[in-house]
Structures are given as C-alpha cells and as structure tokens.
Amino acid sequence: MNQQEIQSVKQRFGIIGSASGLNYAINVAMQVSATDLTVLITGESGSGKESFSKIIHSLSARKHGQFIAINCGAIPEGTIDSELFGHEKGSFTGAVDSRKGYFETTNGGTIFLDEIGEMPLGTQARLLRVLENGEFIRVGSSKTQKTDVRVVAATNVNLMEAVEKGKFREDLYYRLNTVPIFVPPLRERGNDIELLFRKFTTDFAERYRIKPLQLTEGAKQVLINYPFPGNIRQLKNIAEQVSILESEQNKPIEAETLSRYLPQPQQSNRTLALFPQANGSSGADNFSERDLLYKVLFDMRRDVNDLKKLVRDVLMGNEQDSDHILHTHKDLFDSIAPDGDNRPLTDTNITRLLPAVNGTTRTDNPPPRNVVPPSETYGNHPPVQIFDDVDGDINDLTEVEDVTHETEEDDSLSLERQEKEMILKALRRNNNKRKYAAQALGISERTLYRKIKQYEIDEE
C-alpha cells in the first residue's frame, strides 16, 4: 500500500497522525481486509483499537453485512453464552422466549470481540468451535447451527501470560492470532499528540462557539513528553478540560498552565503507590480483587496500631493501673514497635509483602527497615509498623496478627464498608461509567459489576 492509500483511509475513518507504527498498523489492516482471516488487535486501553476493526470490515467483501462490536468484559459471565450464541425457551430462569445470539444475527458480517482476555474459559471453548468449523449450539439446545462470521478480536492484556496462568486457552490464542495488529500507545507517536490535541480543542471550540486554544512551544513539549497512560481517551478529556477552563485567556497556554491538567501517573493516587503493577505503562497486569482487599487490610492494620499506641500512651500516664493492665494484655501491646522504630506504609515495605501475594518466594535477605519522614506517609497518620516477619504466605491470617477472634466479624464488615466506599467513589468520579470506574480501581468490568450487585449499589 502506498502513502496515498493510507492517507485516504485515515481521512475516511478520522484517524489523525503520521507515526510510523500507526501507518504500519493501518497498512496491515488494509491488506488483511481482503481476506476472511481472523485478526487479533493488541494495544493499551484507549489507543483506538476499535477503529482498526472498522477499517477491516469496511474494506472487506463483508462491508454490506452487519458489523457488531461486543465488549466481553462488560457482559456478566452467566449471560455471555446466551448473548453470543442465543438460547432456547426455558433453558434457564428468565428465558421466557427463544433468542438469537450475535453469531446468528451477524451471519455474513463481522463481529468485533473487544477485551477478549476477559472471556470465560467455557465461552472460549464455544468460540473456538465457531472459528474452527463455523458451528455453534444455542444454550439449552442440542441442535448444531452454522454461521459465516468473521471474527476480529482485541485485547489490552498479554494473552500469552494469560495462557501460562491458565486464564486463556492456548489453542484459541493461536487461532485468533492468525494476523496480529499492534496499535502503538500515544506516548510512542511523537508529534501526533500535538495534532490530536489541536483537533480535539478545535472541535470543542466549534461545538460551544469559543475561541480555539493555542499552545506555546514549551507547552507543546510538555504535552509530547507526557506518557498518557489513558492514551487518546485521556488526551481528549484533558483537551476539553483546558478548553473550558482556560477559554478566557487571550494568549497561548503556557507550559506551567498545561502541567496543572496533567496528573502524575506514578503518584496520582495511593493505589499506584501500593501496587505499581496497576500502572498500565508498566506493562504488567492490573492488580486483582484480592490485592485490593490486601490494601484494605494494610489500612486497617495501620489504624489498629495507631489506636493501640494511643491506648498504651494513655495507660502509661496512669501509673496506678498501667503496670497491671500492660502486663495482663502483654500479647496485645507487644506488636507495637518501640518509639522511633515504627515503620510506615512505604513502597519498600509493601514490596516485601507482594511476592507472597503473587505466589512467589520472598528472598532470604529482605531489605532493611525503611523509615521515612511523616511527609512521605499516606494521609496525616504518624508512621506505624506493619508486618515484622513475613516468612510465610500472606494468605495465612496469622500474618495479620492484630485481627483477633473477638473482632473478626466487625473487621469483616469494615472491609466490606471500605471496599464499597472505594467503588462508590470510583463510580462518582467517572459519572457512573463502569468501564472507566473499573479501570480506576484496577479490576475487570465484570468484577465491578458483581461487586455492584453484591453491595446493592444504586448507580442512578
């Protein structure tokens, strides 16, 4: 394909930029569109993977057929088979009528399966049969049906790692990955960032009849050098924020002004400090629901230690009763480190714990204790000591030595309250959009959906 043809496709589908990685991805999409081969599109969240599925469908012989995009992570595990393959009347509770699935209604067209890595293993086996033989069976039926559908899949996770962990079928991975297309992240597209920013601010200005923004050279460099973990979606949000809040300026936006709208990805919130692997730019998988619970446990440990230290200090002020009480409850107060030796909740201490969480073995020589000034701790709490000895598996509840039998029920309720509060905050900050709230929490959209049902959260 020559550059003129690639430019024509960009104009048709509203793709802006001239980065070599972007041009190569478009070139591959144009070449594979003439075939019926299965395509796997990989790239970070928000990088524009769905646009490439539309290019493949629109330039193919199936362009007059139906195109449907499905987010596998947004469909609950219990209903995804019915959504994709249909069901018979009475096959499960609530199935009052027979229903055609997407593979039946899209016969002769193209199905785009976004977030394919979130698909349950049972559904993966059904999908493999469709790809191999063009056959499927409705839920609750024994009749095999045929379909002629082209599948284009996309994912923002490393499927080979998912295969090694047993979360994705190896045979399905190789069947999907017939032709791979990698969409480069925004931070690797250089000057395309400034072009996209200009496009978003211009569109916003035309829509609301305000003066388009202009950037100084310094501001352009700040923009180009920013990593944009949210990619194009994040860039558009920032462009609209700056447009509305700085629209009254009669001069170009300075670098210092623009920097106020660019959050620091490495230090933007406590979640990333506790679990660096949650940062999409690191290339690691998002932290799991279990890790989220451990974070809540760490918070509880800190609060309990603070409370015990306060009680001890009060008792020490009453010499008449202090010796008797401290001696009687010696095991309760022994876990408090001596004054000046309280360790805060720091990245170094968390790193000592995370290997056990990930199922690996901690090294024999753990890092020395790390004491940081109060300004580096989280919140306004003084530094407190966390686990003194982590030789065993963190899943062993004896590691959380201060959660006693008498308070287990209250602590469990406290965990649920804190988890529910985090979910509510994430939903509010993202205007009740589950996809973005799940990304902010670092969990899958299916897990968020389950938690919303569990805690009976009203999203209205």
Q: Where are the alpha helices (DSSP H) in 189-333?
A: 192-208, 217-225, 231-245, 255-259, 270-274, 289-316, 319-328, 330-333
What is the per-residue pLDDT for 440? 82
Best CA proximity match to 278, nearest among 374, 183, 324, 347? 347
Q: Is 192 exposed, middle or buried (0-12, 13-18, 19+ CB in 10 A)?
A: buried
Q: For residues 193 and 176, what is the distance between their CA atoms, to the nearest angstrom?
A: 31
What is the per-residue pLDDT for 90? 86
User: Which of 16-25, 275-284, 389-398 has the highest mean predicted lDDT (pLDDT)?
Assistant: 16-25
Q: Is 294 exposed, middle or buried (0-12, 13-18, 19+ CB in 10 A)?
A: buried
Query: Tell me: the pLDDT tens digits for 333-350?
Result: 555 544 434 444 444 444
Best CA proximity match to 129, nearest among 84, 180, 76? 84
Lookup: tokens for 159: 């499927």
Domains of the chain with CATH codes: 3-184 (3.40.50.300), 189-259 (1.10.8.60), 289-403 (no CATH)
* Those residues with Cβ within 8 angstroms of residue 198's Cβ, 6 or more apart along the chain or in another chain: none
Query: Tell me: the pLDDT tens digits for 352-407?
Result: 444 443 444 444 444 444 434 443 333 444 443 333 343 444 344 444 444 444 44
* Those residues with Cβ within 8 angstroms of residue 123's Cβ, 6 or more apart along the chain or in another chain: 80, 81, 84
Query: Tell me: the pLDDT tens digits for 91-148?
Result: 888 888 999 999 999 999 999 999 999 999 999 999 999 999 999 999 999 999 999 9
Residue 234 has pLDDT above 70, yes or no: yes
Q: What is the pTM of this model?
A: 0.58
Residue 63 has pLDDT above 90, yes or no: yes
What is the per-residue pLDDT for 130? 95
Q: For residues 41 and 30, what is the distance between their CA atoms, to the nearest angstrom?
A: 13
Best CA proximity match to 39, nearest among 51, 28, 27, 24? 28
Q: How confident is the model at residue 308 (pLDDT cuts 50, 70, 90)?
A: confident
Tell me the CA distances in angstroms from 49 to 29, 115, 231, 259, 387, one per residue in order. Answer: 11, 10, 11, 28, 43
More confident residue, 25 or 334: 25
Residues in the chain, total? 460
